[in-house]
Amino acid sequence: MGIVYQTDKRSGITYAYENKAYWDKEKKQSRSKRTLIGRVDPETGKIIPTDGRCKKLSPSHQDDTAYQMPKTLKECRAEILRLLEENRSLKEQLAKAQA
């Protein structure tokens, strides 16, 4: 197991992959499985985690619709009450639609 660096010729971006070697019994030869870790920062050389589509783990991705978990007990209670009210409202709408 090791880290492999590969440069994309089109964009010039270097990506870091975790390389796992295994034995293929059918072909009777060694094979490897690569898993993307992230981009390599050209200035610092550090690996910046990403999923390869500039989403999720990428620090450049900003999702405005992302849900923010409540941090305090008071916020949790307020969120539970909001969700219960939303649930009640949706049940009423469903009942009206079915009637």
How far out from the chain centre does Cα 67 lie? Answer: 14
Domain spans in the chain, listed from the N-terminal domain onward? 1-66, 67-99
**Global pTM value:** 0.49
What pLDDT, in 10s, does the model give residues 15-69? 999 999 999 999 999 999 999 988 899 899 899 888 766 555 555 555 556 667 7
Strand pairing report for 2-7 and 29-40: unpaired
At 81 the three-state DSSP class reads: helix
